[in-house]
Amino acid sequence: MTIFSIAFCMLCLSACQDDGSDNPSTTPASTLPDQSRALAQTAMQAVYQNQRTPNNFYQETSPPAGVFITIQHVRMSDISSSTSTHRVCANDMPEAAIYANQAALTRNITAPVISAQEMPFYFEFLRAPNSSNWILQRVFKCGMYDESAGEYEQTPFDNAAYQQLIEYLWFFSPANNYGYAVIQTSNNSDAQFSTVSLLQVELQAAAGANGCDRIKITKRTYILNLATRQIGLEVTDVLSVDARFNGQSASLCNA
């Protein structure tokens, strides 16, 4: 089990996808109890069929037919000489517009803003270089999420909204790609902490014995301290098995 500061790790998801043990022990398929075998089957289906998220996980709204949308989160490096890749936050729409315009200059985007709207977590600015290509610039609300500080600021606190934010951040992380999947989400709260857990699967091609793939399942728990509003990340290894895919179906090796 590994615990990380959210500002150091969760916000740099590209560097933190292997947060569990470097070489977790692999459970022989022949000794798997029924519950673990069922979990392994779910994990294999998710990564081999590229089913990256479970039902009711955060999803973006589909664009209009014939339109390709690029979503850009404004980062510190877009608006200053900083090399930080933290996504910026703003206190209100005018401040967010300043950041969006500066980011457009930095990224050589000349299309003007044609609409702006306030969403639960962020301010959004639509630019349309042409009728089939849209750019959505997003700036987080400081009153909701301050990435540089690693804090979830919503008051009063809403556990469901916190879960949606964690899912949103995963959706826009490098893990939302082939070879990774989330197969389950859950949340829990008490007087001191609120947690959101993602059961994440990673496919390590040909990393198992005899040319089999390695299927690694970890539980990623994002722990919010309700007093300080700091978010921490705890990663626990759940299961690691060897598997293969023949192009049509998946099976455990040495089952």
Report whether pLDDT(254) > 80: no
Query: Cis peptide before 120, with omega less than 30 degrees from 0?
Result: no
Mean pLDDT of 224-245: 96
The predicted-structure confidence for 104-120, as pLDDT tens digits, reads as follows 999 999 999 999 999 99
> What's the pLDDT score for residue 205?
93
Report whether pLDDT(54) > 50: yes
Name residues whose C-beta falls within 8 Å of residue 65's C-beta, 6 or more positions apart in sequence.
Answer: none
Measured CA to CA, the distance from residue 145 to residue 128 in angstroms comes to: 27
Report whether pLDDT(153) > 70: yes
> What's the pLDDT score for residue 13?
42
Backbone angles phi, psi at 132, to 5 degrees: -110, 0
pTM exceeding the 0.85 threshold for the entire prediction: yes
Q: Where are the beta strands (DSSP E) in the chain?
A: 2-5, 68-73, 89-90, 113-118, 122-130, 133-141, 145-146, 151-152, 180-189, 193-204, 213-225, 231-245, 250-252
Measured CA to CA, the distance from residue 62 to residue 99 in angstroms comes to: 26
**Bigger pLDDT: 209 or 88?**
88
Report whether pLDDT(21) > 50: no
Report whether pLDDT(22) > 90: no
Report whether pLDDT(18) > 50: no
Q: How confident is the model at residue 30 (pLDDT cuts 50, 70, 90)?
A: low
> What's the pLDDT score for residue 4?
39
Report whether pLDDT(223) > 90: yes
If you count them, how many residues does the chain have? 255
Report whether pLDDT(42) > 90: yes
Measured CA to CA, the distance from residue 193 to residue 230 in angstroms comes to: 10
CA angle 17, 79, 108 (to 5 degrees): 95
